[in-house]
């Protein structure tokens, strides 16, 4: 599967759906556009949907951490959803799960914030 990120922009919510490996190649391809979108939009809630991610490396973790800091600068919130057991373990080991809210279910605890998500 080719790795890619699709973007949904819905009012004050921006959703980045990551598919495939969340690795250095994906980060090189998408980091600048994600950064620009967040800088322009300044959404109240930013979601990284990892439900289609098979693997995450330090580049993916770094991208998430950098966007977390960016979103915090304008008082937004970033969450990670749809994590499987392997990804959840990697996020826990890296320490990122201690600072970014992480959920197994995309809709868990955020239903009110999302009005239309496919």
Domains of the chain: 4-112 (3.30.750.24)
Question: Looking at residue 109, what is its pLDDT?
Answer: 59
Question: Looking at residue 2, what is its pLDDT?
Answer: 83
d(CA 115, CA 1): 29
Question: Looking at residue 113, what is its pLDDT?
Answer: 55
Considering the entire predicted model, what is its pTM? Answer: 0.89
One digit per residue, the tens of pLDDT, for the chain of length 118 reads 689 999 998 878 999 999 999 999 999 999 999 999 999 999 999 999 999 999 999 999 999 999 999 999 999 999 999 999 999 999 999 999 999 999 888 765 566 555 544 4
């Amino acid at each position: 599967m080719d790795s890619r990120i699709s973007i949904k922009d819905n009012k004050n919510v921006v959703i980045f759906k990551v598919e495939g490996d969340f690795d250095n190649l994906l980060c090189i391809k998408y980091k600048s556009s994600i950064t620009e979108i967040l800088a322009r939009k300044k959404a109240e809630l930013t979601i990284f949907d990892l439900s289609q991610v098979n693997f995450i490396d330090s580049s993916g973790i770094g991208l998430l951490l950098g966007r977390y800091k960016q979103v915090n600068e304008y008082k937004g919130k970033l969450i990670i959803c749809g994590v499987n057991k392997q990804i959840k373990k990697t996020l826990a080991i890296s320490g990122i799960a201690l600072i970014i809210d992480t959920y197994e279910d995309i809709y868990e605890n955020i239903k009110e914030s999302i009005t239309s998500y496919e």
